[in-house]
Every structure is written in C-alpha cells, then in structure tokens.
A and B are shown apart, each in its own frame.
Chain A
Amino acid sequence: MNYVELHCHSNYSFYDGASFVDELLNRAKELDYSALALTDHDNLCGAMEFSNHAKNLKIKPIIGVELSMSEGQHLTLLAKNIEGYKNISRLISYNNMSADLGVSDDVLFKHLNGVVILSGCSKSHVNQLIKSKDTKKIKEFLAMYSEVLGKKNFFIELQQNLVKGDIGRNKTLISYAKYFGIDIVATNNVHYHVSDRSKLQDILTSIKNGKPLDESHLYLRNNNQFYLKSYNEMKYLFSSYPESLLNTCKISEMCELDLQRDIEYTFPEYKVPNGYTQQTYLEKICFEAAIRKYGKITSKVENRLQEEFHLIEKHKLAGFLLIYHDIIELAREVMIDLGLTDPEIPLEERPPGRGRGSSVAMLVGYLIGLSHIDPLTYNLSLNRFLPNEMDIVPDIDLDFPRNIREELIKRVHLKWGSSHAVLTGMFSTYKEKGAIRDIGKSLGLPKVELEKLVQFSNTGLKKTLSEEIFNETGLNINKKNHLWNELVDIVSQIKGFPKYLGQHASGMIISTSPIDDMVPIQPANISGRYICQWDKKSIEQARFIKIDFLALGTLSQMQEILTLVDKKTGNYIDLTRIDFNDQAVYRSMHSGDTIGIFQIESAAQIQTIKRIKPINLIDMAYEVACVRPGVGVNDGVSQFIRRRNGEHWEYDHILEEKALNSTLGVILFQDQVNKLAMEIGNLSEMEADELRRAFGWKRSNDIIESYKTLFIKGATNKGLSRDIAIKIFKKFNGQYMFPESHAFAFGVTAYHMAWLKYYFPLEFFVSIFNQQPMGFYNLETLKEDAKRHNVVVKNPGINISNVTCSIVGKEMLLGLNIIKNLGYKTSEIIINERHSKGFYKNINNLISRTGINYAQTKNLIYSGALDSLGFSRRDLIWQLGLFESKPDNQRLMDLDFQDISPVLSGKNTWKEMLNEYSSLGLYPNGHVMEHVRKQLGDKVIPSNKIERFSSGSFIFTAGLIIRRQRPLSKAIFLTMEDEFGHIPLMVWPDIYEKNKMLLSQDLIGISGIISKREGTFNVIVHGVWPINNFSHFTQSKDWQ
C-alpha cells in the first residue's frame, strides 16, 4: 500500500465525525492500510483506544490532531515521537485552559519538537488566504512556516474531495509549494469510514447547529466523498501529483510513537520521615492503629498483618497505600473543618469515608482508615484484592458523604496541582431515546409521534426500533414516509457515539509527571475542577492509577441523622459500637420495612430479604450479594434460599467445596469465580482473575474460549469428567456480582441504616427528604412510609419553614426548597428576609419583600405554605391574579385584600390535593387513593388485604404506579402504591404490549392473579383499566 491516510476524524471530533475508531481501523485493515492517523478536532480523546486497536490489527497508529488556531483556522499536527505527542497534548491543554481563542503561531512555535505539520484543510490559514487571493500574505505565511518548522517537518496538504474549487485550490497550492520548495502531501480529510455514513455526518452537523436538515444547507458538506478511500481511488484523484501520495508513506515512517510504550506515568512518591522506608513506615502506622483498635497485637492480628505486609512488599504497594492514607488524612481535615469530627479522635475511629470493593478485605486498609470493616471479624479473604501473583495495581474505591467528597476533590487539586491531579473524563454517549429525539428532529419528523416512540422504546423488551415503528398500533405513523426507515438506520449507527466529554463519577488521577504531557486536560463544568480527555478505559490501558472517590447519598443521609440525633440527645452515636445482632432491627427487615434503606429497598431486594431473613451481618452480606444480576442469571438466588431453608443439595464435584462451602454451593461473590477456576480448572491466580474479568469485556469470546479449554483440561487432569467440567464452567457469566468484601461493606452500611430507621425514624425521614435525589423512591412514597412509622409530615409554612425539612416537636416540617420552582436560592432569600424583617403578612407583602415571581407564588399557595396568611387557597390565587400583569418596575399597591376579595365558594379537597401533588410532588395529608377508593367499590382490593387471598386468586386492585423495572428476566415489574402500602405487579411482555399506554399512566386499576412464595407475593397482571388521566401525582422512578 503506497498511501497512508494522515487526516482522519473519528466520532471523538464530537458531531464532526461519523465513525467509531474501530470502524475506521477495521475499514483500514480491509483496504490494506499499513498505517492510519487519527486527527480529531482539538482533542486526543480517542488516542489510546485508537492506538490499542490499531496495534491489535497490526496497523501502525499515528496520533495527531486538527488544531484550532487563533482565528479559527485549522492546522494538522502529527506526533513523530513521544516529544511530539507531549507537545500536541500541551497545545491542546493550553487551548483548553487559557482564555485565548485558539493557539497563536507564537505558542505553536514553542511546541514544535517531534511534530510534523500539514498545512490543513480548506479551513486552514493558507487556504483562507488563497480564497482571499492575498498573494503577499500567502507568501509571508509559507515563508515563515517553512523557515520555523524546517522543510522536513512542514508539508502542504492537498485535498481532493470532489468539492467545487478543489482542483483550482490544489493547483495554487502546488505552485506555492514549488516556489518555496515545500513537499506536498495528499489527504482525504476523512470524516467516516464508508460513504454511506455521510447521512449520519449530515445529521450530526444538523444537531450541532440546532437546526433541522432542511435549514442546514449552509453547514453541510457538499457530498459523501469524505470517507476512507482505497489506494486506487486516491491514486486516481492525485494522478497528476503521485509524489503527494508517496509523501504520506514518508511521513508515516517518520512517526514512531508507541503510546502505551512511550508514555511516562509515575505515581507520586510518598515522602517518609527519616529512618523509615515506605514499607516500614506503613507497618509502623498499622501497628499503632492496631494497638488503639484491639488493645494489643494478638497473634491473629500479627499473622494477618504479616501476610499482608509480605504481599504489599512483594508488589511494591507501600507507597501506593501511603498516598491513600494521605488522601484519607486530607478528607479527615475536611471533616474537622465541617465540624464532623474532632482532631483528638483517631482517624480509624471515625473514618471520613468507607471502602467498597475488594480492598475492604485488607486489615491494613481498616487500620489506615480506608475501610470501616474489620476483615478479621468476618474472615474476609485477601485473594481478590491482593493475589499472590498480579500484574496490575489493585483498585481501591472510597465512598464519602457528598459534602466531604466535593471539598476533598478541591483539596486534592490544591495539594498536587491541576497538572498533577485531575479527574477522569467520561463520555456522555447516545442512547436510543436521545438518538430518536435528536435524529427525528433533524429529519423533521412529527414531534408527537417521536415522543410516543421514545416512550415505547427502552422498556427493555427486545423489540427493534423498526418493530416499534412499523408494528406499534399506538403510533400514528405514515409508513410510506421513508424518513422513518432512515431514522431506524441512523439510530442504530449513532448509538454509543460520544456527545461530550464530562466528568467521571469518581475517578481521579495523581501523577508525578505533568498530566498534560500524557493526555490533554481541561477545566470541568464545576469551577475548580479539572478533567483529562481520557475515559476510564483509556486510563486503564495507559496504566494510570485511578483513585475513586464516590459520593454516596446514603452516607450523607447517615451523617445528617447522626447530627440531628446529636442535636436532640447530645450524644453522637458511634456506629461501630452499636449492637450488630439486634434482632428487633432484623425483624423489621424481615417484614419488608426497608424503604429508604441503602441496598435493601427495591422491590426485588424487599422480596429477597423477606425470604433470606438475615439475622447477622454475614447474612446481610448474602442479602446484598444476592440481588445482583450475576447471581440471578443462573437462578442462584432461589437456589441459595431453598438450600438455606433445608432443601437437599449436592456439589457437582467435591472440589467445589473449598470455593462454595460458605454459600451452599452457589456462586454469590466474584471471588468465588476465581477460586472455582483455580480449584477445578487448575488456573493460576492471574489466569483465574483474567477469566473472570474477560466475561465483562466486549469482544472477549476468543479469550473466554481459550480459558474454557484450559479449564476443562485442568479439570479433567484433576479427575472430573468433561461434562461436569463444562457444567461447572457454565456457572460463570458476564453479569455483575459483588466481591465478597464489597458485599460485607455494603451489608454493614445497610444494617447501619436499618438500625437508624428503627430507632430514629423521624431523623431518618427528615434526612432522606433533605438528601434527595437518592434511592429508589419519590417523596410521596417516602412520606407514606414515614406515616407508617408515625412520623407526621406537615405542609410547608412561609412563616415557619426552613430552607430544608426540619424537626418541629415530633413532626417533620417540609422545607421551602422542595416547592417546585423555588429551589435552594429563592428559599434562602425568603427565610433570610423573614429572619431580618419579621413574618409575612399577606401576599402583597411577600412578593414585594422577596421579589418572587408569579409561578413561585402560585406554587407556594398550592403547597399550602401561605395557609397561615388567613385566606383560603382559592382566595389567594384570586389575589395573585392582581399581580399577574404587573409591569416589572411598577410598585405594588398596598391593597387590603380583606375588603376587595370576592366571596369564593368553599374548598375543593380533590383540587387542593392535585395542586399539592403538582407543587410538592407529594400530598402530606393523605393519599390520592383515599379519594379514589370511594368510587371503586368493594371488588377492588386494597394492598393491606391482598395477602389474605390465597395463591391463584383472581383479584382487582388499584393505585399509583411508583416504579417500573425490567431486570434480566422477561417480565416487567411494577410497584403499585395505595393508601395502605405497596403491591408488587408482574407483567408478561404480551400483556405489557397490549396495555403499554395505560401502564404508562400514574393512576390505574388492574386485574390479576396472586402468586405467592416463601412469604412474598406478586400480582400477575391480566388486565388494566384507566382511573384518572391526571399525570402529575408523583415522578415515578422507572427503568433504573
């Protein structure tokens, strides 16, 4: 192949590239390319992915960029080596971090080492000058570039995309190239791998410019010629200038960068006090903490510590763990500053965060404040976190309350600096719903039908979009309109396309070498934060060490409960010292009273906890582990519960015993996959771990197959029959499971929350209202649950409420910030004004003092917050009407409403309820079903009476649908709520399809058959009927 494409955009050019990196490379392979460049607009987002995939295909990856210069002109830069790559990365970072728009020549010229520059596309400086026919400036520009860059590193770029003017422009460029003795090079300005993708390219351009295709002619490319062309096509187009093709190969030879090999990442060195090595210093910290924790170093503690120290030393992880210790210390400083702990309290006594994941199994982690679980108490195995053999640095994930995490991120940036500590990037990608909306809008398809289609899609049913469009009876679609077919095609192409670079939920990278030497950095949307242009996967491939700080709503809730209890009782509860065998708490869980409790509150989790009936923390770990897709996929949950309840069972082979003994022969934890692979298949620790991870990778079939062969061979060598070996191998799957230690960590947190809910329900509900959004349920459902715990929820009051919900006596008073359109800021203005100038007397007084607008005042009235002003809500709405058309600057008249208000008829409870639902998202004084019940008749059974019916009974029931879910099974699960509790509904796909529209409504009635097992029940839906089409009762949390 005598041509290398050196100007190529992937979909990481964000709306200006219509192919994935792997699509481009696979096409390049088909066309027999020996090398290919990636030159996305102003970023290296795809560089690592491209580099890796190219190497797998034995194509030489050339990394570059199409850089925006100071007047918006484009310039093509390619990295010859790591120096050139660093310079490109720095230039992009400069572009992102400085206030300048684009890179100036001066800045560019300081970053030329190792870089080859091509003069660029039709938007380049030189081509813009040619367009304006400014000969003098063209000559000045080319003279300067060829002199500064040197003629070996600067090429005049010719493009022939069969666009009007290409021929003339190329002729002019060639004449200048000859004049200055600059070499020419051909590129095709590739924006997609095959010409068919030009439609998607047009769509992306239309989306980018926010205009439908019909109004996008100015922005669209003229044709579909911007695809990856074969050598013969390029040879034909550049037949007059063959050297321009040969030069592509010459440049390719100049580029010798191997990104994975050449990148220079080092984790920061932890500086230890004199006289210590990192290892001895870590050991010292651990022994001191162990004495504080246990009183003395017992042989059990000593043995475990020595085992861990040995592995830490072997894998050179002491410095790594000490850096974590440093971060935890930083978090502790945050806690102290927020008044959440005392400097006198040792770190391990009140750790600022909680570990999750396999790292929780480490005693060292417990002692240096990385985790809240004592692994000795629960006999947690180290293997998964610190195997004897390993080639990667282990992951440590830390959970923090939101406020601590926010501040911690800032302090990590401060401590290491923005060029040495950045957040991992994350690409927001196109999913089906967004794709239907955006593409449909571009195509000019009717909005109403598109929205219906969005509603029908993504229910988890394995229907194709085409089936949805052409067979769905609820859609009023003109099937002859070819645009619906185009929609189907383009939606399938765009799925997974990156929309923008955002911030990963938790990952941070800390590095000794400047990060912008390795990957460009940019400010995040939140001020004071910086992100890099690589996502988690690229970071892993670059072998960066990622530290995960996660914000966990439940920890924020826990912190608020503890503070509220402390305020009330003067006693800050130490959750490490509560009774973990409190059977009253466990009994409350057995009854399914777990709404709002981390990890055990979903319908599936409630049903499982009723069947498992945990009585200690080990059972809690089983409960938490059970409701994971990887356990359910092989019917593991039911099997485990049946066996717990005494069902006879046997191992498929006795060699399974060591791995599966504790979980009755069922795989509940990730670690057990590793153990089983080692025990049965004789795989090494590393092989077993790679096998487990390979199940979760894309395109990993070959790896899994090779391990399967190895596993079967190992198993048969150990005396298993081939059939049994295959049977055991089939127990492995790619669905997610928790590591054992992770399940313990979450199980403990779940118990903590259950304990707090049981003993401090008022504080529990106040805090969960204040920490929204979190959890599985909306405020209405939480309020209903609060009522069942004798917590009275009061409507907000303009003269009594705080910004957030608060405790008044023994009741919960809603805060103003939950009122629609008010938010935290306006609520604060209202409260501050009240504190400084006294109570609000009437609506006029409120509006004039706070400047709140019509919609905000209306919602205050609807929510009941103005009831204390002495008027009915109808009167208040009438009074508000007097202000509706007030010009902005006109002063309000000081009206005495008492005299001018008309006499309005009495209150309408139904209307008031609807208004409360729409302004608050809940109805504090009751439930909609209390009103509806009267009209339904006796045949409609309320939730509290359903359990009296036997399995198989046919019943009618009704309520609000508060949650829709579709796990891996075929059925769809809905949670219905009435004034007494919840009714779990199961809908088979055929029934769902027939009743899709009705089932998307809030308030419905259903008929169905009761199905009971092990103390739980479901109603299997047969029919659905409408009750009321009002659709603003609550916001159901669906398909999460």
Chain B
Amino acid sequence: MVENTRKTYGIDENIALNVPILINVIESKNKFPKEIQIKNKFIKVLSVIDLWHVYGEWWKENSVNRMYYRINSDDRVIILFKNIDSNLWYLQNDY
C-alpha cells in the first residue's frame, strides 16, 4: 500500500547519478588546472584536450556558471570544472 498518496515524487527523490565531487586543484598562472588532488593523490595535468564554458539556468535559484576542462594525465582522461561563482573545483568524470 502506498504510504502517502499525496506525496509528489520529484528530482529530490531520484537517485542522483554522476554527482560532481569537490576536489582540490592547483591552478597555473592563467588559471588552468595544473595539479589535481583525487583521494589524497596529486595528479599532474599533462595537457588540456578541450575546454568549454557552461552558463545557464540563471532563472533558477542556483544558476550554472562553470568552466569545464578535459585533461590528460599520465594514465587517464579526466573531466573537471571550476564553479566560476564559488571558485571551487569539482571532478565530473574520471575515465
């Protein structure tokens, strides 16, 4: 039996996938990621393969303003972003 028939199921009730993880990043002079700290391990950025800016959802409480970087480290490709409003770095994907 349904416990509460009037309850609205929305995004909060879904299981969030691919949630960005807050990370430490050491930036270069031009504010690019230079070293990334994942699970207490520092990973050097060898090259930036792609970068892109996402700005949107400004009409919502929490707008999105992020600079994404797709980088090469010695053994993998990582996608991370910097939240431009808070200056915090997040790991989005670690392939």
In the complex, whether A724 has a CB less than 8 A from a CB of chain B is: no
A162's nearest neighbour on chain B, judged by CB, is: B53
In the complex, whether B59 has a CB less than 8 A from a CB of chain A is: yes
Min distance, Cβ A481 to any Cβ of chain B, angstroms: 10
The answer to whether B59 touches A166 (Cβ under 8 A) is: no
Binary CB contact string for chain A from 609 to 633 against chain B (1 if under 8 A, 0 otherwise): 0000000000000000000000000
Picked from B50, B55, B59, B68, the residue with its CB within 8 Å of the CB of A168 is B50
Picked from B49, B56, B59, the residue with its CB within 8 Å of the CB of A223 is B56
In the complex, whether A567 has a CB less than 8 A from a CB of chain B is: no
Binary CB contact string for chain B from 32 to 67 against chain A (1 if under 8 A, 0 otherwise): 000000000000000001111111101100000001
- Among A164, A166, A168, the one with the most B-chain Cβ atoms within 10 Å of its Cβ is A164
Q: Are A222 and B50 also in contact (CB < 8 A) when A164-B68, A483-B59, A486-B59 are?
A: no
Picked from A165, A167, A213, the residue with its CB within 8 Å of the CB of B59 is A213
In the complex, whether A224 has a CB less than 8 A from a CB of chain B is: yes
Picked from B49, B53, B68, the residue with its CB within 8 Å of the CB of A225 is B53
The answer to whether A166 touches B56 (Cβ under 8 A) is: no
A-B contacts, 13 of them at CB < 8 A, read A162-B53, A163-B52, A163-B53, A164-B52, A165-B52, A166-B52, A167-B50, A167-B51, A202-B56, A217-B56, A222-B54, A223-B54, A444-B59
Which residues of chain B come closer than 8 Å to A224, judged between CB atoms? 55
CB-contacts of A660-708 with B (<8 A): none
Which residues of chain A come closer than 8 Å to B58, judged between CB atoms? 199, 202, 486
Which residues of chain B come closer than 8 Å to A486, judged between CB atoms? 58-59
| Measured CA separation A164–B51 after assembly (Å) | 7
8 other contacts beyond A165-B50, A199-B58, A443-B59, with CB at 8 A cut-off?
A163-B52, A164-B52, A168-B50, A213-B59, A217-B56, A220-B56, A222-B54, A483-B59
The answer to whether B53 touches A222 (Cβ under 8 A) is: yes
CB-contacts of A214-236 with B (<8 A): 214, 217, 220, 222-225
Count residues of chain B with CB under 8 A from any CB of chain A.
12
Which residues of chain A come closer than 8 Å to B68, judged between CB atoms? 164
In the complex, whether A198 has a CB less than 8 A from a CB of chain B is: yes
| Measured CA separation A166–B51 after assembly (Å) | 9
Which residues of chain A come closer than 8 Å to B54, judged between CB atoms? 222-223
CB-contacts of A818-864 with B (<8 A): none
| Pairs A-B, 8 closest by C-beta atoms | A162-B53, A164-B52, A223-B55, A223-B53, A224-B55, A167-B50, A213-B59, A162-B52
Which residues of chain B come closer than 8 Å to A223, judged between CB atoms? 52-56
| Measured CA separation A220–B58 after assembly (Å) | 12
Which residues of chain B come closer than 8 Å to A199, judged between CB atoms? 58
Which residues of chain B come closer than 8 Å to A225, judged between CB atoms? 53, 55
Min distance, Cβ A1010 to any Cβ of chain B, angstroms: 52
CB-contacts of B55-95 with A (<8 A): 55-56, 58-59, 67-68
| Measured CA separation A159–B58 after assembly (Å) | 24
| Measured CA separation A223–B56 after assembly (Å) | 6
Which residues of chain B come closer than 8 Å to A214, judged between CB atoms? 59
B58's nearest neighbour on chain A, judged by CB, is: A199
| Measured CA separation A443–B67 after assembly (Å) | 25
CB-contacts of A533-568 with B (<8 A): none
Which residues of chain B come closer than 8 Å to A167, judged between CB atoms? 49-51
Min distance, Cβ B79 to any Cβ of chain A, angstroms: 10
Which residues of chain A come closer than 8 Å to B56, judged between CB atoms? 202, 217, 220, 222-223
| Measured CA separation A483–B59 after assembly (Å) | 7
Binary CB contact string for chain A from 424 to 447 against chain B (1 if under 8 A, 0 otherwise): 000000000000000000011000
Min distance, Cβ A50 to any Cβ of chain B, angstroms: 28
| Measured CA separation A224–B58 after assembly (Å) | 11
Min distance, Cβ B72 to any Cβ of chain A, angstroms: 13
Min distance, Cβ B64 to any Cβ of chain A, angstroms: 9
Binary CB contact string for chain A from 109 to 152 against chain B (1 if under 8 A, 0 otherwise): 00000000000000000000000000000000000000000000
CB-contacts of A161-180 with B (<8 A): 162-168
The answer to whether A164 touches B50 (Cβ under 8 A) is: yes
| Measured CA separation A501–B5 after assembly (Å) | 52
Which residues of chain B come closer than 8 Å to A166, judged between CB atoms? 52
Which residues of chain B come closer than 8 Å to A217, judged between CB atoms? 56
Which residues of chain A come closer than 8 Å to B67, judged between CB atoms? 162
* Interface residues of A, Cβ cutoff 8 Å to B: 162-168, 198-199, 202, 213-214, 217, 220, 222-225, 443-444, 483, 486
The answer to whether B59 touches A222 (Cβ under 8 A) is: no
| Measured CA separation A166–B56 after assembly (Å) | 18
| Measured CA separation A198–B54 after assembly (Å) | 12
- Among B49, B54, B67, the one with the most A-chain Cβ atoms within 10 Å of its Cβ is B54
Min distance, Cβ A133 to any Cβ of chain B, angstroms: 17
| Measured CA separation A225–B67 after assembly (Å) | 12
Min distance, Cβ B49 to any Cβ of chain A, angstroms: 8
Min distance, Cβ B33 to any Cβ of chain A, angstroms: 16
Which residues of chain A come closer than 8 Å to B50, judged between CB atoms? 164-165, 167-168
A220's nearest neighbour on chain B, judged by CB, is: B56
Which residues of chain A come closer than 8 Å to B51, judged between CB atoms? 162, 167
Binary CB contact string for chain B from 9 to 50 against chain A (1 if under 8 A, 0 otherwise): 000000000000000000000000000000000000000011
| Measured CA separation A225–B66 after assembly (Å) | 12
Min distance, Cβ A190 to any Cβ of chain B, angstroms: 16
| Measured CA separation A163–B55 after assembly (Å) | 10
| Measured CA separation A162–B67 after assembly (Å) | 9
A445's nearest neighbour on chain B, judged by CB, is: B59
Which residues of chain B come closer than 8 Å to A163, judged between CB atoms? 52-53
Which residues of chain B come closer than 8 Å to A198, judged between CB atoms? 55
| Measured CA separation A594–B55 after assembly (Å) | 61
Which residues of chain B come closer than 8 Å to A168, judged between CB atoms? 50
| Measured CA separation A385–B2 after assembly (Å) | 84
Which residues of chain A come closer than 8 Å to B52, judged between CB atoms? 162-166, 222-223
Min distance, Cβ A223 to any Cβ of chain B, angstroms: 4
| Measured CA separation A927–B45 after assembly (Å) | 84
| Measured CA separation A222–B56 after assembly (Å) | 7
| Measured CA separation A609–B58 after assembly (Å) | 56
Picked from A213, A222, A444, A483, the residue with its CB within 8 Å of the CB of B55 is A222
Which residues of chain B come closer than 8 Å to A220, judged between CB atoms? 56
Min distance, Cβ A443 to any Cβ of chain B, angstroms: 6
Which residues of chain B come closer than 8 Å to A213, judged between CB atoms? 59
| Measured CA separation A199–B56 after assembly (Å) | 9
B66's nearest neighbour on chain A, judged by CB, is: A223
| Measured CA separation A167–B58 after assembly (Å) | 26
- Among B53, B54, B67, B68, the one with the most A-chain Cβ atoms within 10 Å of its Cβ is B53
Min distance, Cβ A195 to any Cβ of chain B, angstroms: 9
| Measured CA separation A576–B2 after assembly (Å) | 87
Min distance, Cβ B57 to any Cβ of chain A, angstroms: 9
| Measured CA separation A220–B54 after assembly (Å) | 11
| Measured CA separation A571–B49 after assembly (Å) | 90
A442's nearest neighbour on chain B, judged by CB, is: B59
B30's nearest neighbour on chain A, judged by CB, is: A236
Min distance, Cβ B31 to any Cβ of chain A, angstroms: 12
- Among A167, A217, A443, A444, the one with the most B-chain Cβ atoms within 10 Å of its Cβ is A167
| Measured CA separation A284–B31 after assembly (Å) | 83
Which residues of chain B come closer than 8 Å to A162, judged between CB atoms? 51-53, 67
| Measured CA separation A168–B51 after assembly (Å) | 10
Which residues of chain B come closer than 8 Å to A165, judged between CB atoms? 50, 52
Min distance, Cβ A450 to any Cβ of chain B, angstroms: 15
| Measured CA separation A217–B58 after assembly (Å) | 12
Which residues of chain B come closer than 8 Å to A483, judged between CB atoms? 59
Which residues of chain A come closer than 8 Å to B55, judged between CB atoms? 198, 222-225
Min distance, Cβ A750 to any Cβ of chain B, angstroms: 53
Min distance, Cβ A829 to any Cβ of chain B, angstroms: 49
Which residues of chain A come closer than 8 Å to B59, judged between CB atoms? 213-214, 443-444, 483, 486
Min distance, Cβ A490 to any Cβ of chain B, angstroms: 10
| Measured CA separation A753–B68 after assembly (Å) | 73
A224's nearest neighbour on chain B, judged by CB, is: B55
Min distance, Cβ A212 to any Cβ of chain B, angstroms: 9
| Measured CA separation A444–B67 after assembly (Å) | 28
B68's nearest neighbour on chain A, judged by CB, is: A164
A222's nearest neighbour on chain B, judged by CB, is: B54
